[in-house]
Structure 1
């Protein structure tokens, strides 16, 4: 069930929190976070309570607190808070009575509206209204307008305090080693915070008005912070308006804009006002909305809002202006997973950008190329060859997974984190992502300059990782996507992905003749040797097949384990990983219990890998043993259930996927939203229900619309051209357009038949 109410009106499509509930404060701060690819600001309320979890995060701004700890995305100073004082006493949401409340996020423009009607302890009644957004048209700017009106009560002096609060920490750790604060002129406060390698610059310009007349303010410093203060005599009907513009920028050698120009820009924007700024924002966001639009006739308003929310948040997480950073597991919405980048980015988030914003997808993959030194280092550290990509990484691409995690409450010893040591499928996941980007875009320049080297060196890793056993090559002591089964042999997902990785390398090395990497390998005589090793690997790698019952073993031991008799108790539990409250990890490892989709995920990546009846049998078999304790699980199951025609299951799992961050559980998402599940929602719609996928032979269409969906309309980018798609229960209509440039025909496959799309194509389809 959604906690947030979808609203559609002339201003756009919104998600709204309709009442004040302290239990949901941290969750909603994450869910309504506003990001523009450069920075993200949690949806904190201006008048704070003790439950607030303020946060602002800048792409690529990482720091290690001390030796022995891992790098984390720095929580930056707060530019949102508004202190309010009457007779020296603080007015905040912990000591007032909230009579009316609404906080809502516009999914088309990224604007956040907050309305709070409250009564103070001495009987004064105020209305606070605020609007704010992270600018899409000027990525360093954050606009914020707050209005406070005295509705009832005696004449009184109210003091307002606002500025740049540099006392914000990462769960108690302050990363900024040195700070400088000052004022420029009469209206701009400045903060400079130094980190070990770079730093942060914040410039906040303000305009404070009472009843539309500008008021002067005083400034003062606090530790690592700077504030402005206004004391205003207010009587019934009086309103103060505070307009703030914050310039937020990484302070590094690559970001040395002239200070005077930045100050002048802020002053100009203050004069133009908030309304002009939001008009610019709406115009800028129109491009995103038009390009990413998905129109579904018959979909509920909740479904439409859930899909639009996923797209808006993914768009805001992506640092599309650079290849130096990628998208972390929580985007720019919270401290969860320390801002690290996982395999989630390539397999769940990247497909959205590949199909809608390929230029951004390319930069995300270039980030992996920039991190090749870290991948090479990790392979060497573990005695392997080639590129072994880190399980978690940050800015420079080196492994950031902590060796140890939380303490065992019974032994007092730290638990070892095996994922960074044994979960190797991330390497093949990146190779798979490169292939899909290339097949969608036909970007040969990328393949030559970056992709081929990654494909070949990751293939070299798999060759060195496999072991000769039982007259074949096997991958032993591994962890697959299902992290409840550790130290297993021949995880089907990993083995198949490794084989595909090596196959891609062999093909690229033979075809990417303009690749500097291929030329170099030819010149030094190693290319032929590598190709022979890859060929041997492909001929001998063990790829699990269906047993006599038609079930593909997830790994060598899984089918021989005991079933968990009371599994439904944990499948129905609202608490994630509740099975670990009753069983130890060692006990869970010995049961037929899955944390999330594993083999099922393989089916979503390779729709034709196995016959349809085999896929269906395995999906039903493994789903009964899956607890869905990962945010990646429901979306994967929704997609595959659509593909096998289990539409009731697909609809149920899709609804669960939409609820991942938007559900009525106050404990979910408090440390940031689940970025990968957002990509999974998009994949459910486009790859699952619309049935759009791509391989080396072209675009594949296999629609499976939900029963209550009459039709779906959307666009994707194929080989640099925009392809408009329309599908209903019987028809497919495609239109290829590219703004007047010469069109390249696109190969389309529907139910096993090939078609060539040049301009328009209209097809009928039905059940096979």
Structure 2
């Protein structure tokens, strides 16, 4: 665990430069706008350790799978969001010496991510080998108003010398992914050119033939005056740059303004792409840096208006929740149903930048409550559009009759994960897709979604589960063999409780959904049944038989659900008895040792209890929580948030707070020693859940909003907003009272501490904090 980020409510601050922490900081200080994003690499040359990363949403490459032993059903490739053209480059040469923080003496250094404005600012003072001392301030952002554009303001002040500074403002497409399976570069050049004030580089991805057109224009001012310099054009393969030379005097600053745009053929016809790129560049240059910055700050203010969580009395907790919310908004805006949320967003290459079950299980609730309804709906439509691919994925594994298996990892709907214990066995992801449909309808009340999109998906998923189980003569039950549950420290197990539970829930919900669509829209139901060749009597009877006769492992003596068959055969060692030198297990132990241990990577049984808590009494939840939490090492980013929510429900606020801090500061403090690969974007939604569903006790039951707020001891108060069915409710909790404010013209009935209350339009309601 690192602890070098300064605590501040609205800023992420690094003071002093430690090269060993640089890749971690490159992740933490990443910026994006939902359409493009980048790691916090330096603009100038840096020859020290770095992970360069610029990314354009929706553009990917099918990197050929690399495995030692090919198995039938393996995907042929792993889809990867590509490291794209590096547009930030400003190679600075001062009196013939290249500016490089790796070779210079760094006298002062700071990095600041301003979450209110969405800007990254870096300041440093260096002494070069030739004795030159200079100061630099660099400000940059990816505009969320002009979401194909980024801009840099880079100011250099010479402190002890006169002379010349050479600036090379570049577009560098000669890049590769660090995780390339065969060290292959994924881009070919189409063309590069300049036209007076701008330079342009067009690249095409191999195999997938995406085009990305990037263009830059660079302006230079000295002491606030435009120098009117014309660039010298420099070109080499997949590289184009504008060069300038400026005479400088001691303590007289020069400022470089670099405007850049990245457009892709996902959004423009290829024949129109270059023209659109230049038009977009001219638009942002005409606005200028100051106007773009003002628009950026205003747009972020709107996002914070409904999405902020305010914590008083605990700066570390406040900074952390805002950092998580900020990164979620940078990653996904919901404006394009073709896009989804990769586990690393725009902050790194690990996991390929692809979509996992994390979106449905963790991210959807955040967007349901904090964004317009269409944002969450687009996440579901993304899966609906991939239904045919999900059916193809299942067919490759031997399933039939329209059974759908959604991929563990995908960009285009096709499975592209090549570890057998994940690809073939971690099938609970199918349940998360179905649960997201249920969750969306439960939250929005929009049952028409079932008829429009949801029911077809549910039928495909239910058909998969009905074929994936088999009848056990010995048990006289249906069983689920050879699976990997959410706990990936167990592979190829039988009767994982969570997988079996969510499978039968999917069957029940699909039957219910068929009945709901029959009532609401009979003609549409008949259309769906015809399209899917659905035999109502035969299939539903079979599903109902599975529901009635499914086997769920449990231990009646302990009163717990067993994670899977034979779990108690393992040596039962508690996490508290693990030597610190053995952690994290995935970096210290052999895989064989991990698989034979009782240790749990992340919530497994407790994941099911979190989803379906209404089905279990408090004693049952308590017993399972007590048993499994002691065996969980939380070496998945998705683990602490589920435990925080359950701990808060059980009144264990100290542990809930501990879990909250761990999930919220996972990347800021590098808990798992893996932040340098990129941030854990999808788990950041879990941080929001820890506050709103954990401490706030927010649930949706029977079409009503329920709250059961509790206050961690270290907090003076906390507040959040919930957008629920055309109403926006502000919830504030302090040591004395709970205050609810309806910020809408629509009245709302809700339950708080188990009692129904009526919140009038634009009204406020105060309750004793100890009403529970």
TM-score by length of 1: 0.92
- Closer/same/farther in 2, CA of residues 754 and 460 from structure 1, 3 Å limit: farther
- Is 1:199 equivalent to 2:211 in the alignment? yes
What residue is the counterpart of 1:328 in the other structure? 342
- Closer/same/farther in 2, CA of residues 597 and 476 from structure 1, 3 Å limit: same
* Equivalent-residue separation in structure 1 for 2:574 and 2:501 (angstroms): 31
- Is 1:308 equivalent to 2:322 in the alignment? yes
Give 1:558 deviation, angstroms.
0.6
Of 212, 222, 226, 1:213 maps to 226
- Is 1:286 equivalent to 2:301 in the alignment? yes
Of 103, 108, 129, 1:100 maps to 108
Of 159, 166, 169, 1:159 maps to 166
**Bigger CA drift: 664-673 or 68-77?**
664-673
**Bigger CA drift: 753-762 or 609-618?**
753-762
- After TM superposition, the structure 1 = structure 2 runs for residues 267-282 of structure 1, keeping only pairs within 5 Å, are 267-282=282-297
What residue is the counterpart of 2:408 in the other structure? 392
CA RMSD in angstroms comes to: 2.4
**Bigger CA drift: 371-380 or 123-132?**
371-380
* Equivalent-residue separation in structure 2 for 1:558 and 1:603 (angstroms): 18
What residue is the counterpart of 1:641 in the other structure? 647
What residue is the counterpart of 2:193 in the other structure? 182
Of 711, 719, 724, 2:717 maps to 711
- Closer/same/farther in 2, CA of residues 565 and 319 from structure 1, 3 Å limit: closer
Give 1:340 deviation, angstroms.
1.6
What residue is the counterpart of 1:409 in the other structure? none
Q: Could you report, residue by residue, the CA deviation over 1:122-176 in whole angstroms, capped at 9, with x for unpaired residues?
A: 11111110111111111111111111110112x2222111110111111243111
8 Å CA contact 2:484–2:490 kept in 1: the answer is yes
- After TM superposition, the structure 1 = structure 2 runs for residues 44-443 of structure 1, keeping only pairs within 5 Å, are 44-47=41-44, 48-66=46-64, 68-153=76-161, 155-171=162-178, 172-195=183-206, 196-211=208-223, 212-214=225-227, 215-252=229-266, 254=268, 259-260=274-275, 262-298=277-313, 300-357=314-371, 358-385=373-400, 386-403=402-419, 417-443=420-446
* Equivalent-residue separation in structure 2 for 1:30 and 1:525 (angstroms): 48
Give 1:673 deviation, angstroms.
0.5
Aligned residues: 742
Give 1:222 deviation, angstroms.
1.7
What residue is the counterpart of 1:528 in the other structure? 537
8 Å CA contact 2:263–2:273 kept in 1: the answer is no
- Is 1:31 equivalent to 2:28 in the alignment? yes
- Is 1:6 equivalent to 2:7 in the alignment? yes
Give 1:575 deviation, angstroms.
4.9
* Equivalent-residue separation in structure 1 for 2:739 and 2:89 (angstroms): 51
* Equivalent-residue separation in structure 2 for 1:253 and 1:293 (angstroms): 31
* Equivalent-residue separation in structure 2 for 1:557 and 1:94 (angstroms): 54
Give 1:92 deviation, angstroms.
0.6
Give 1:766 deviation, angstroms.
3.9
* Equivalent-residue separation in structure 1 for 2:528 and 2:241 (angstroms): 60
* Equivalent-residue separation in structure 2 for 1:516 and 1:258 (angstroms): 43
**Bigger CA drift: 61-70 or 30-39?**
61-70
What residue is the counterpart of 1:410 in the other structure? none
Give 1:736 deviation, angstroms.
3.8
Structure 1 stretches lacking a partner, 5+ long: 404-416
Q: Could you report, residue by residue, the CA deviation over 1:581-608 in whole angstroms, capped at 9, with x for unpaired residues?
A: 34x3333323221112211222222233
- Closer/same/farther in 2, CA of residues 262 and 168 from structure 1, 3 Å limit: closer
8 Å CA contact 1:3–1:664 kept in 2: the answer is no
Give 1:653 deviation, angstroms.
1.6
Give 1:763 deviation, angstroms.
4.5
Give 1:21 deviation, angstroms.
0.8
What is the DSSP-based 3-state SS (H/G/I as helix, E as strand, rest coil) of the residue aligned with 2:511?
helix
Give 1:115 deviation, angstroms.
0.3
* Equivalent-residue separation in structure 1 for 2:674 and 2:592 (angstroms): 26
**Bigger CA drift: 592-601 or 72-81?**
592-601
* Equivalent-residue separation in structure 2 for 1:237 and 1:633 (angstroms): 52
8 Å CA contact 1:163–1:189 kept in 2: the answer is no
- Closer/same/farther in 2, CA of residues 516 and 426 from structure 1, 3 Å limit: farther
What is the DSSP-based 3-state SS (H/G/I as helix, E as strand, rest coil) of the residue aligned with 1:138?
coil
- Closer/same/farther in 2, CA of residues 697 and 319 from structure 1, 3 Å limit: closer
- Is 1:19 equivalent to 2:27 in the alignment? no
- Closer/same/farther in 2, CA of residues 41 and 516 from structure 1, 3 Å limit: farther
Of 485, 488, 506, 1:501 maps to 506
* Equivalent-residue separation in structure 1 for 2:82 and 2:567 (angstroms): 41
* Equivalent-residue separation in structure 1 for 2:190 and 2:424 (angstroms): 38
Q: Could you report, residue by residue, the CA deviation over 1:164-223 in whole angstroms, capped at 9, with x for unpaired residues?
A: 011111124311133311112323434343443322111112112233232222111022
What is the DSSP-based 3-state SS (H/G/I as helix, E as strand, rest coil) of the residue aligned with 1:63?
strand
TM-score by length of 2: 0.91
Q: Could you report, residue by residue, the CA deviation over 1:715-755 in whole angstroms, capped at 9, with x for unpaired residues?
A: 112123322323345644434444x5xx4x65533444444
What is the DSSP-based 3-state SS (H/G/I as helix, E as strand, rest coil) of the residue aligned with 1:51?
coil
- Closer/same/farther in 2, CA of residues 376 and 525 from structure 1, 3 Å limit: closer
**Bigger CA drift: 263-272 or 465-474?**
263-272
- Closer/same/farther in 2, CA of residues 218 and 679 from structure 1, 3 Å limit: same
What residue is the counterpart of 1:412 in the other structure? none
What is the DSSP-based 3-state SS (H/G/I as helix, E as strand, rest coil) of the residue aligned with 1:177?
strand
What residue is the counterpart of 2:72 in the other structure? none
8 Å CA contact 1:422–1:479 kept in 2: the answer is yes
Of 461, 465, 469, 2:464 maps to 461
Give 1:574 deviation, angstroms.
8.5
Give 1:275 deviation, angstroms.
1.3
* Equivalent-residue separation in structure 2 for 1:515 and 1:180 (angstroms): 55
- Closer/same/farther in 2, CA of residues 69 and 715 from structure 1, 3 Å limit: same
What is the DSSP-based 3-state SS (H/G/I as helix, E as strand, rest coil) of the residue aligned with 2:305?
helix
* Equivalent-residue separation in structure 1 for 2:508 and 2:261 (angstroms): 48
Of 655, 659, 663, 1:657 maps to 663
Give 1:443 deviation, angstroms.
2.2
**Bigger CA drift: 117-126 or 617-626?**
617-626
8 Å CA contact 2:189–2:237 kept in 1: the answer is no
* Equivalent-residue separation in structure 2 for 1:176 and 1:258 (angstroms): 17
What is the DSSP-based 3-state SS (H/G/I as helix, E as strand, rest coil) of the residue aligned with 1:64?
strand
Structure 2 stretches lacking a partner, 5+ long: 66-75
**Bigger CA drift: 652-661 or 138-147?**
652-661
What residue is the counterpart of 1:748 in the other structure? 750
- Closer/same/farther in 2, CA of residues 625 and 268 from structure 1, 3 Å limit: closer
* Equivalent-residue separation in structure 1 for 2:549 and 2:555 (angstroms): 18
What is the DSSP-based 3-state SS (H/G/I as helix, E as strand, rest coil) of the residue aligned with 1:341?
coil
8 Å CA contact 1:425–1:494 kept in 2: the answer is yes
- Closer/same/farther in 2, CA of residues 320 and 609 from structure 1, 3 Å limit: same
Give 1:389 deviation, angstroms.
3.4
* Equivalent-residue separation in structure 2 for 1:730 and 1:752 (angstroms): 18
8 Å CA contact 1:482–1:597 kept in 2: the answer is yes
* Equivalent-residue separation in structure 2 for 1:424 and 1:696 (angstroms): 29
* Equivalent-residue separation in structure 2 for 1:495 and 1:730 (angstroms): 44
